[in-house]
Amino acid sequence: MKQFFIFLLLLPTIVFAQRKSFHLGVSGAANVSFILNQNNFGTLAPFGQQVVRQSELAYLFTGGGTAGVNFGYFFDDKWGLEMHALYLRAGQHYEDDMAGPATIPQGTFGTKGNGRVKVKRSIDFNYIQIPILAKFTYGDELAKFYAALGPSISALVSGKEKVSIAGYDYIDSKNNFTFDEKFRKYDFGIALNLGVDIWFGKNLFLNIGLHSYCSILDINGNKMREVDWYSKNDLTYQKSYNFYTGLNVGIHYVFVKRKLNQF
């Protein structure tokens, strides 16, 4: 794994040494982030009713984003190759009012009034992500629509999970695993970018578009297979995946002037 990351970091130098139409850019994005098949996983274990312990929490809108640099090369006026080095914030937040009672170290809740107990769960990831994308563009000299697709590998820099029940922080004494035990330290998936490159002169272009990513590797660690309840109707373990989509904007400088109909 270490050798692979070294190769990725050296790739722009290799490309630049062999090709003349090298371009360098910076980009940022605002994303909507999801974790697929990752909801309960024992979060509702303190509740007295079995049907509640198996329930799903409601999904909250979870924002995220990327920021970083990218390196690329235009082979001709249609095809190119890009590599991005990004800081990625991802995850998923949940919140719901569940039917009590729920018993936690601070007491038993939901036995009076409407008997509902508020539950919150948040999972946040911070990754260094490196997509390598084949890029196809089509258009005129001022604007070119693009589609870019390729593999992406991520290294988990930091992360946290927080669960609160009735306003109190809750730690599952039975499944009190660390964050590193519950989630993998790396991720791998497929990235897809769609948008338009807008040219300003011969050396500078702006890209605006949608970028998306989905894991193909289970992001859960081995300890996640040991909890009692996973989510609604899932009495056996289900793999979980990162997914995000959002609006990406970048600015790029081309080190070799493009000629008419060429880069």
Query: pLDDT at residue 90 above 80?
Result: yes
Mean pLDDT over all residues of the chain? Answer: 87
Amino acid 76: pLDDT = 83
| Torsional sign, CA 185, 190, 192, 197 | positive
Which range among 54-58, 162-166, 226-230 shows the weakest confidence by mean pLDDT?
226-230
Cα torsion for 220, 224, 229, 235, to the nearest 10°? 70
* Number of Cβ within a 10 Å radius of residue 111: 13
Query: pLDDT at residue 20 above 80?
Result: no
Residue 114 lies inside a defined structural domain of this protein: no
Give the pLDDT band of residue 111 (cuts 50, 70, 90): confident
Which structural domain range is residue 28 located in? 2-42+60-93+122-158+178-254
Residue 54 lies inside a defined structural domain of this protein: no
Give the pLDDT band of residue 123 (cuts 50, 70, 90): very high
Rounded distance between C-alpha atoms, residue 183 and residue 136, angstroms: 35
CB 48 within 8 Å of CB 261: no
Amino acid 104: pLDDT = 93
Helix, coil or strand: residue 15: helix
* Number of Cβ within a 10 Å radius of residue 7: 10
Give the pLDDT band of residue 14 (cuts 50, 70, 90): very low
CA–chain centroid gap for 251, Å, is 22
Overall number of domains in the chain: 1
Q: Where are the alpha helices (DSSP H) in the chain?
A: 2-18, 50-53, 179-182
Residue 109 lies inside a defined structural domain of this protein: no
Report pTM: 0.85
Query: pLDDT at residue 258 above 70?
Result: no
Picking from 139, 47, 37, the residue whose alpha carbon sits closest to that of residue 92 is 37
Residue 194 lies inside a defined structural domain of this protein: yes
CB 125 within 8 Å of CB 87: no
CB 16 within 8 Å of CB 91: no
Residue 53 lies inside a defined structural domain of this protein: no
The CATH number of whichever domain residue 69 belongs to comes to: 2.40.160.20
Amino acid 17: pLDDT = 40
Picking from 208, 236, 219, 227, the residue whose alpha carbon sits closest to that of residue 163 is 227
| Tokens found for residue 108 | 């038993």
Task: List C-alpha distances in Å: 29 to 5, 12, 126, 157.
Answer: 23, 22, 15, 19
Residue 99 lies inside a defined structural domain of this protein: no
